């Protein structure tokens, strides 16, 4: 493979450590696209004869067909996808194939292939995120009036609606999609033509290959072109942040499906049983999504560690980039599909949500606000008085709206029966009319916004 300089073959451990074909075969189509662009450019520039260019292009089509049909034989002794394709090309078209690698190195080749792959992965991630947003939006539409406890510190805080809760995730996911879009805007430049590291003495046309591959322009610096992997890190960081967001929803599903909450129910299709406890209905997929978040962060950390301190330009260390990115892409894809399925599948239980909302005196803030608004009390004093009234209701084991006025007046004599208008869950939710608040009218605005946006 390495030509004249080498007389002996590799040690057996070398045959184990150097190949990347087992995983970089996933770059096959990108590699073919890069080779086509390069071959066309070489012929157009008169660097190779037109006839050889045409033979190479026909040969690349034949190779692609073998790969797509699953007939291509990948060989570990040919190390990677680049040499596998080139070697097969030679078998198919003969000598002309040897001209394809003019003015090119595997260093700019792999950087090109990998950027193309990550670019597609970003687009794919955005489509999957879109799907999850749509499932959440559909649940939101069903539950604009469904009241649940909103939590802070995992303690019942104030009543909110299930729609409002679902839409919070739609917002988070929109930012996740935005990160993938930003990553594409930055990574979409062409390393091809940087050759090994210093450029080439052949009169290549880098603008032409960049254009053919859909890149916005050639990368300005050939050393940067072959050594940069920050685009992969950026993709992995977008994957990691998206997984952390999705893991929160997964974690909430785990809680909500527990009988202790009972807020939602997943159908049999999204539930697993236990081998010993017949009553169990485990939200396995949600737990796995939550768990897989660590794996994707691990992918980011692994690649960041590979790149850290690595001298320019190319080092074989960089061959470690691909498995981390493939793993993160596969894991993110699987997780988003599982979440989309579960969100579409779940049935909310408004009665259980309501019971939980009633239990935690979540309208205590509304009581304090009433004291401020009607009695013109400073908020701190109102907070103290409302706290005393909650204590009284707790002792009497009733919700705030069921506590007799006489009991409340023992604590604050100026309270009137008008206060009951703010103590129910509905009154509380309906009153939160500030922009972005949980009042159904406001939540309907959010729904309309996302319906339009996700069209």
* Residues in touch with ligand ARG (CB under 6 A): 20, 24, 80, 106-107, 110, 314, 316, 318-319
Q: Minimum distance from CB of 110 to ligand ARG (Å)?
A: 4
CB closer to ligand ARG out of 139 and 209: 209
Number of H helices, E strands in the chain: 19, 4
Q: Minimum distance from CB of 87 to ligand ARG (Å)?
A: 14
CB closer to ligand ARG out of 171 and 320: 320
Environment class of residue 380 by beta-carbon count within 10 Å: exposed (0-12), middle (13-18) or buried (19+)?
A: exposed
- Alpha-carbon distance 357 to 380, whole Å? 25
State phi, psi for 161 to the nearest 5 degrees: -110, 155
Q: Minimum distance from CB of 306 to ligand ARG (Å)?
A: 11
153 flagged as catalytic: yes
Tokens 């797509």 map to which residue?
A: 68
CB closer to ligand ARG out of 15 and 373: 15
Catalytic residue among 12, 153, 275, 434: 153
CB closer to ligand ARG out of 106 and 432: 106
CA angle 242, 245, 250 (to 5 degrees): 115
Consecutive H or E run containing 339: helix 321-345
Environment class of residue 249 by beta-carbon count within 10 Å: exposed (0-12), middle (13-18) or buried (19+)?
A: buried
Q: Minimum distance from CB of 113 to ligand ARG (Å)?
A: 9
- Alpha-carbon distance 269 to 26, whole Å? 31
Residues 115 and 123 sit within 8 Å (Cβ to Cβ): no
Q: Long-range CB contacts (< 8 A, 24+ apart) of 395-402?
A: 399/358, 399/361, 400/361, 400/363, 400/364, 400/367, 401/363
CB closer to ligand ARG out of 275 and 316: 316
For the CA atoms of 151, 347, 275, 290, the dihedral, rounded to the nearest 10 degrees, stands at: -50
Catalytic residue among 216, 274, 388, 441: 274
101 flagged as catalytic: no
- Alpha-carbon distance 21 to 83, whole Å? 9
Q: SS in 3 state form for 211-237?
A: HHCCCCCECCCHHHHHHCCHHHHHHHH
Distances (CA, A) of 250 to 7, 242, 292, 327, 338: 57, 12, 11, 20, 10
Q: Minimum distance from CB of 125 to ligand ARG (Å)?
A: 22
Q: Tokens for 39, please give them.
A: 């071959």
CB closer to ligand ARG out of 20 and 158: 20
Consecutive H or E run containing 381: helix 379-396
Q: Minimum distance from CB of 2 to ligand ARG (Å)?
A: 10
* Cβ-based neighbours of 192, under 8 Å, separated by 6 or more: 34, 37, 38, 104, 108, 109, 111, 112, 206, 209, 210, 213, 218
Quickly count: other Cβ atoms within 10 Å of residue 176's Cβ.
Answer: 25
Q: Catalytic residue positions? A: 153, 274
């Amino acid at each position: 493979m390495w030509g004249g300089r080498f007389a002996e073959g590799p040690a057996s451990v070398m045959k184990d450590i150097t190949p990347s074909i087992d995983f970089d075969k996933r770059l096959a189509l990108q590699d073919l696209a890069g080779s086509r662009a390069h071959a066309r450019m070489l012929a157009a520039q008169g660097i190779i004869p037109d006839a050889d260019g045409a033979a190479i292009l026909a040969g690349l089509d034949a190779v692609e067909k073998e790969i797509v049909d699953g007939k291509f034989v990948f060989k570990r002794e040919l190390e990677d996808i680049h040499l596998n394709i080139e070697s097969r090309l030679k078998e198919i078209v003969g000598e002309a194939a040897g001209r394809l690698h003019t003015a090119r190195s595997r260093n700019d080749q792999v950087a090109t292939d990998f950027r193309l792959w990550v670019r597609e992965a970003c687009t794919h991630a955005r489509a999957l995120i879109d799907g999850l947003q749509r499932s959440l939006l559909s649940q939101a539409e069903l539950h604009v009036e469904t009241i649940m406890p909103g939590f802070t510190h995992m303690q019942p805080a104030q009543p909110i609606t299930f729609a409002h809760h679902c839409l919070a995730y739609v917002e988070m996911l929109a930012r996740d999609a935005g990160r993938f879009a930003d990553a594409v805007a930055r990574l979409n430049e062409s390393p091809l033509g940087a050759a090994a590291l210093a450029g080439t003495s052949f009169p290549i046309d880098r603008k032409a290959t960049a254009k053919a591959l859909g890149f916005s322009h050639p990368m300005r610096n050939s050393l940067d072109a072959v050594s940069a992997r920050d685009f992969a890190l950026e993709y992995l960081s977008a994957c990691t942040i998206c997984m952390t967001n999705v893991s929160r929803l997964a974690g909430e599903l785990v809680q909500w499906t527990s009988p202790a909450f009972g807020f939602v129910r997943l159908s049999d299709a999204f539930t697993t049983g236990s081998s010993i406890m017949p009553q169990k209905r485990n939200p396995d997929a949600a737990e796995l999504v939550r768990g897989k978040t660590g794996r994707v962060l691990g992918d980011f950390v692994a690649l960041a560690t590979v790149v850290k301190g690595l001298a320019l330009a190319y080092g074989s260390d960089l061959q470690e980039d691909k498995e981390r990115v493939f793993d993160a892409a596969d894991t993110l894809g699987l997780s988003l599909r599982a979440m989309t399925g579960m969100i579409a599948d779940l049935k909310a239980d408004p009665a259980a949500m309501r019971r939980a909302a009633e239990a935690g005196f979540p309208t205590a803030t509304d009581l304090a606000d009433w004291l401020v608004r009607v009695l013109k009390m400073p908020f701190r004093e109102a907070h103290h008085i409302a706290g005393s009234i909650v204590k009284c209701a707790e002792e009497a084991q009733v919700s705030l709206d069921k506590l007799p006025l006489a009991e409340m007046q023992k604590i604050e004599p100026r309270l009137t029966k008008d206060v009951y208008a703010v103590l129910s869950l509905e009154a509380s939710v309906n009153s939160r009319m500030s922009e972005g608040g949980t009042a159904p009218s406001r939540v309907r605005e959010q729904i309309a916004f996302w319906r339009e946006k996700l069209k």
